[in-house]
Amino acid sequence: MHAVRCNGQPPRGITMRMAPPNLPTKVCATCGRTFAWRKKWARQWAEVAHCSDRCRSRRNRKEKTELETRILILLAQRARGATICPSEVLPDEEKQDAERMDSVRAAARRLAHDATIDILQRGVVVDPDGARGPIRLRLR
Ligand SMILES: [Zn+2]
Give the C-alpha distances (Å, rounded to integers) separating 119 from 32, 66, 67, 74.
Answer: 12, 19, 15, 15
CATH of 63-139, one of 3.50.50.60, 1.20.120.530, 3.90.226.10, 1.10.10.10: 1.10.10.10
Give pLDDT tens digits for 9-28: 444 554 555 556 789 999 99
How far, in Å, from the CA of 79 to the mean position of ligand 1? 32
137 Cα to the center of ligand 1, angstroms: 20
Which residues in 40-54 are b (16+ Cβ under 10 Å) and which e? eeeeeeeebebbeee
C-alpha of residue 80 to centroid of ligand 1, in Å: 31
Ligand 1 midpoint to CA 30 (Å):
5
Domain borders along the chain are: 1-59, 63-139
Tell how far the Cα of 49 is from the centroid of ligand 1, in angstroms.
9
Q: What's the pLDDT tens digit per position in 39-91?
A: 999 999 999 999 999 999 999 888 999 999 999 999 999 999 999 999 999 99
Q: How far is the CA of 68 from the centre of ligand 1 (A)?
A: 16
